[in-house]
A = this chain, B = another copy of it.
Amino acid sequence: MRDVAVIGIGQTKIDEHWDKSLRELAGDAALAAMAEAGVTKVSNVYVGNMLSEGANLQAQLGGLIADWIGQRYSEAVKIESACSSGSAAFRAGFLAVASGEVDVALAVGVEKMTDSPGSEITSSLATAADADWEVEQGLSFVALNALIMKRYLYEYGWAAEDFAEFSINAHENALSNPNARFQLPISKSSYSKSPLICDPINLLDASPIGDGAAAVVLVPANTVSTEAPRIVVAGSAAATDAIAIHSRKSPLWLQAAEISAKKAYAQAGIGPEQIDVFEYHDAFTIVAALSLEAAGFAAPGRGPALAKEGDIKIGGRIPVATLGGLKARGHPVGATGLYQIVEVIQQLRGNAGQTQVTNPEFGMAQNIGGSGSNIVTHIFQRLE
B63 touches A127 (CB 8 A): no
B239 touches A74 (CB 8 A): yes
Those of A214-270 within 8 Å (CB) of chain B: 237-243, 247, 255-256, 259
In the assembly, how many copies of this chain are there? Answer: 2
Closest partner residue, chain B, to A369 (CB atom): B60
A132 touches B60 (CB 8 A): no
Those of A64-88 within 8 Å (CB) of chain B: 64, 66-67, 71-82, 88
Jot down 19 A-B pairs with beta carbons below 8 A, ordered by A.
Answer: A1-B99, A23-B132, A54-B54, A56-B131, A59-B82, A60-B127, A60-B374, A61-B80, A62-B81, A63-B369, A66-B240, A71-B240, A72-B242, A73-B239, A75-B238, A75-B239, A79-B80, A98-B99, A119-B119
CA of A374 to CA of B66 in the docked complex: distance in angstroms? 10
User: Is A124 an interface position by the 8 A CB rule?
Assistant: yes
**Which residues of chain B come closer than 8 Å to A373, judged between CB atoms?**
60, 63-64, 67
Distance between A140 CB and nearest chain B CB, rounded to angstroms: 13
**Which residues of chain B come closer than 8 Å to A242, judged between CB atoms?**
63, 67, 72
Closest partner residue, chain B, to A56 (CB atom): B131
B76 touches A131 (CB 8 A): no
B240 touches A58 (CB 8 A): no
B67 touches A243 (CB 8 A): yes
Those of A105-152 within 8 Å (CB) of chain B: 117-119, 123-124, 126-128, 130-132, 135
**Which residues of chain B come closer than 8 Å to A256, judged between CB atoms?**
73
Those of A14-47 within 8 Å (CB) of chain B: 21, 23, 45
**Which residues of chain B come closer than 8 Å to A98, judged between CB atoms?**
99, 101
User: Is A178 an interface position by the 8 A CB rule?
Assistant: no
Distance between A128 CB and nearest chain B CB, rounded to angstroms: 5
User: Is A57 an interface position by the 8 A CB rule?
Assistant: yes
User: Is A104 an interface position by the 8 A CB rule?
Assistant: no
User: Is A95 an interface position by the 8 A CB rule?
Assistant: yes
User: Is A5 an interface position by the 8 A CB rule?
Assistant: no
Closest partner residue, chain B, to A375 (CB atom): B63
CA of A23 to CA of B45 in the docked complex: distance in angstroms? 28
Distance between A73 CB and nearest chain B CB, rounded to angstroms: 5
Most buried by B among A50, A95, A126, A369: A95
B131 touches A54 (CB 8 A): no
Most buried by B among A58, A63, A79, A98: A63
**Which residues of chain B come closer than 8 Å to A237, judged between CB atoms?**
75
**Which residues of chain B come closer than 8 Å to A72, judged between CB atoms?**
240-242
B51 touches A53 (CB 8 A): yes
User: Is A92 an interface position by the 8 A CB rule?
Assistant: yes
5 additional A-B pairs beyond A57-B131, A59-B128, A95-B95, beta carbons within 8 Å, are A21-B132, A63-B81, A67-B243, A99-B99, A117-B131
Closest partner residue, chain B, to A236 (CB atom): B101
User: Is A332 an interface position by the 8 A CB rule?
Assistant: no
User: Is A96 an interface position by the 8 A CB rule?
Assistant: yes
CA of A12 to CA of B73 in the docked complex: distance in angstroms? 33
